[in-house]
């Protein structure tokens, strides 16, 4: 059950709980990773206090914000196209202001204001609290920009406005930035150094979500397993912390446990894990708590030791296998998913074969697979030539996708004739008579509605499946209800 994420299809128009008395209209859309969607909820919260309610109609908007992604060139092209569309609307409604948020804002900075005349406002991922000042400047007729990255900002004190939510599952951000410096990746440049959020503010958010009826949270970070709270500050400065701070520091397994215990009836997920940082402690904590979902997204990017090294991924293929063996031993029911990159600079046919054989060892449940896209300013761009021909990248990607399809089909078949627990999230897209929800393993399941409702935990007997979806019949509420 492979999923090829394509940012171009991910733009979502967000709708916010309307606040009485607010008269200005905000149109906000997000591209890219879950962190961007979570950030837009923070931005919506800040703007709600400034008198903005959201609108679904671009034409009606006083302010248009686009939260952008820089991870691959294609993602940036999509945003450029959206700007053209906003431009057309602005010709009819000249008072409309346009702002660019997120990773492209950070990467291109003032260049955006020069290149795209339509843009009035450029705000990087750590500067959203400055929006009131920046908007005041824009209202005075000046372009405004803040792309300062921060050592401290985690937005821990802002209650996100849940946008476009199904009321069942919510994103909770726990770290910002990334210190890993994978050579292909632009994120450390656009989102800055890694810092973690105060665990108390995380637990408070989890408790608030439960009180509002939410049943599942996903703890979010570029690299969640390296979560580390020692009283604030950058992760890289931890060595300079006092003995007291070191002794009382909260690491990811402890945070996971705190969340699982805070709301034992609530499902807890997390994403993403870099294999080099996922410890046995995390796997044991997952085992200890039924409400921690049994799914690990464990991007590997390549199966070749040489390429892993070139990518600055700090583990070998053999160490990855060892980790997979440990997961399978300690958590036999756990699903595992991947991210893969085809055609990284210098990748040979043998390196590609190593990727395929790594996949054959793991047999992932699903994955997100991409062609290498050179990103300006990254180590790979500076040190290596983007020398794998486009056709070869494409062909290798197709082979990876095909193999994933086969593995996904084998894996999903294993659930047929078993009972799984499903949290109902929404109506099935294919039938208004069916519910759709996810298993603990993050696999979608559909089944007849009967008298169940959104937010129920239901035991479902699986009778059949497609390549990505389980099909079954509810047999009753599960233990969670």
The binding site for ligand SAH (CB under 6 A) comprises 33, 71-72, 184-185, 187, 222-223, 272, 299, 301, 339, 341, 370, 372-373, 375
CA distance 424 to 339: 27
In the complex, which residues of this chain contact ligand F3S (CB under 6 A)?
178, 180-182, 185, 187-188, 222-223, 274
Q: Which helix (H) or strand (E) holds 71?
A: none
Name the minimum Å distance from CB 294 to ligand SAH: 19
Name the minimum Å distance from CB 130 to ligand F3S: 24
Residue with tokens 């935990």: 457
CA distance 28 to 64: 6
Q: Residue 25, Cα to own-chain centre: how many angstroms?
A: 27
**Contact (CB, 8 A) for 457 and 481:** yes
Name the minimum Å distance from CB 274 to ligand F3S: 5
Closer to ligand SAH by CB, 201 or 218: give it.
218
Closer to ligand SAH by CB, 224 or 422: give it.
224
DSSP alpha helix (H) spans, 22-121: 34-48, 73-92, 103-108, 110-115
Closer to ligand F3S by CB, 380 or 424: give it.
380
| DSSP state at residue 118 | T
Closer to ligand SAH by CB, 338 or 439: give it.
338
Name the minimum Å distance from CB 125 to ligand F3S: 12
Name the minimum Å distance from CB 334 to ligand SAH: 18
- The burial class, CB within 10 Å (0-12 / 13-18 / 19+), for 84 is exposed
Nearest CA-CA partner of 359 in 394, 410, 395, 311: 410
Q: Which does 71 bind (CB under 5 to 8 A by kind): ligand F3S, ligand SAH, none?
A: ligand SAH
Closer to ligand F3S by CB, 10 or 180: give it.
180
Name the minimum Å distance from CB 270 to ligand F3S: 14
Nearest CA-CA partner of 424 in 481, 372, 342: 481
Q: Which does 372 bind (CB under 5 to 8 A by kind): ligand SAH, ligand F3S, none?
A: ligand SAH
Q: Residue 379, Cα to own-chain centre: how many angstroms?
A: 23
Q: Which does 268 bind (CB under 5 to 8 A by kind): ligand SAH, ligand F3S, none?
A: none
Name the minimum Å distance from CB 195 to ligand F3S: 14
Q: Which does 358 bind (CB under 5 to 8 A by kind): ligand SAH, ligand F3S, none?
A: none
- The burial class, CB within 10 Å (0-12 / 13-18 / 19+), for 355 is buried
Q: Which does 339 bind (CB under 5 to 8 A by kind): ligand SAH, ligand F3S, none?
A: ligand SAH
Cα 213 to Cα 84, 217, 333, 462, distances in angstroms: 40, 11, 28, 27
Q: Which does 469 bind (CB under 5 to 8 A by kind): ligand F3S, ligand SAH, none?
A: none
Q: Which does 334 bind (CB under 5 to 8 A by kind): ligand F3S, ligand SAH, none?
A: none
Name the minimum Å distance from CB 392 to ligand F3S: 22
Closer to ligand SAH by CB, 223 or 335: give it.
223
| DSSP state at residue 292 | B
Name the minimum Å distance from CB 376 to ligand F3S: 15
Q: Which does 228 bind (CB under 5 to 8 A by kind): ligand SAH, ligand F3S, none?
A: none
Name the minimum Å distance from CB 240 to ligand SAH: 25
CA distance 301 to 472: 34
Q: Which does 188 bind (CB under 5 to 8 A by kind): ligand SAH, ligand F3S, none?
A: ligand F3S
CA distance 300 to 362: 11
Q: Which does 373 bind (CB under 5 to 8 A by kind): ligand F3S, ligand SAH, none?
A: ligand SAH
Q: How many C-alpha atoms does 461 have within 13 Å on its Cβ side? A: 6
Closer to ligand F3S by CB, 182 or 460: give it.
182
Name the token pair of 460: 């479902």
Q: Which helix (H) or strand (E) holds 245?
A: helix 243-247
DSSP string, 167-213: SSEEEEE-EES-----TT--HHHHH-S-EE--HHHHHHHHHHHHHTT
Q: Which does 198 bind (CB under 5 to 8 A by kind): ligand F3S, ligand SAH, none?
A: none
Name the minimum Å distance from CB 358 to ligand F3S: 17
Closer to ligand SAH by CB, 261 or 394: give it.
394
Closer to ligand F3S by CB, 20 or 382: give it.
382
Closer to ligand F3S by CB, 272 or 436: give it.
272
Nearest CA-CA partner of 111 in 139, 73, 80, 133: 80
């Amino acid at each position: 059950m492979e999923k090829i994420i394509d940012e171009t299809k991910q733009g979502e128009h967000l709708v916010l709980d309307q606040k009485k008395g607010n008269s200005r209209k905000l149109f906000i859309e997000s591209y890219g990773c879950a962190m961007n969607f979570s950030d837009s909820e923070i931005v919506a919260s800040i703007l709600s206090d400034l008198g903005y309610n959201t609108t679904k109609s671009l034409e009606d908007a006083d302010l248009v914000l686009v939260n952008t992604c820089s991870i691959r060139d294609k993602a940036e092209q999509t945003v450029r196209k959206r700007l053209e569309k906003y431009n057309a609307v602005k010709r009819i409604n000249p008072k409309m202001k346009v702002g660019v948020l997120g990773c492209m804002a950070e990467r291109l900075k003032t260049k955006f204001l020069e290149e795209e005349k339509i843009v009035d406002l450029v705000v990087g991922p750590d500067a959203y609290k400055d929006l009131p000042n920046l908007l005041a400047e824009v209202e005075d007729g000046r372009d405004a920009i803040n792309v300062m990255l921060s050592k401290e900002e985690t937005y821990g004190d802002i209650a996100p406005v849940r946008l476009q939510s199904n009321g069942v599952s919510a994103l909770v951000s726990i770290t910002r930035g990334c210190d890993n410096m994978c050579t292909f990746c632009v994120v450390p440049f656009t989102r800055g150094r890694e810092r973690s959020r105060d665990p108390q503010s995380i637990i408070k958010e989890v408790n608030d979500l439960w009180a509002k009826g939410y049943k599942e949270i996903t703890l979010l970070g570029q690299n969640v397993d390296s979560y580390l709270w020692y009283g604030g500050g950058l992760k890289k400065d931890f060595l300079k912390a006092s003995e007291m701070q070191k002794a009382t520091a909260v690491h990811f397994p402890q945070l996971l446990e705190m969340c699982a215990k805070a709301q034992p009836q609530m499902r807890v997920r997390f994403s993403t894990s870099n294999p080099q940082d996922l410890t046995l402690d995390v796997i044991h904590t997952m085992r200890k708590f039924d409400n921690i979902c049994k799914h690990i997204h464990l991007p590997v990017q390549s199966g070749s030791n040489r390429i892993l090294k070139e990518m600055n991924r700090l583990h070998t293929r053999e160490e990855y296998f060892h980790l997979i063996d440990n997961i399978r031993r300690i958590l036999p029911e756990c699903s595992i998913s991947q991210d893969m990159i085809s055609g990284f600079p210098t990748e040979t046919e043998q390196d590609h074969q190593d990727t395929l054989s790594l996949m054959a060892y793991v047999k992932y449940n699903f994955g997100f697979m991409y062609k290498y896209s050179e990103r300006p300013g990254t180590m790979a761009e500076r040190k290596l030539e983007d020398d794998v021909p486009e056709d070869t990248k494409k062909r290798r990607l197709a082979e990876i996708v095909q193999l994933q399809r086969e593995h996904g089909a084998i894996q999903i078949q294993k659930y047929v004739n078993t009972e799984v627990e499903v949290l109902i999230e929404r109506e099935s897209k294919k039938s208004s008579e069916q519910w759709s929800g996810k298993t603990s393993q993050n696999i979608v399941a559909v089944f007849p509605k009967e008298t169940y409702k959104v937010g129920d935990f239901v035991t479902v007997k699986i009778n059949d499946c497609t390549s990505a979806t389980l099909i079954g019949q509810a047999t009753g509420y599960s233990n969670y209800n």
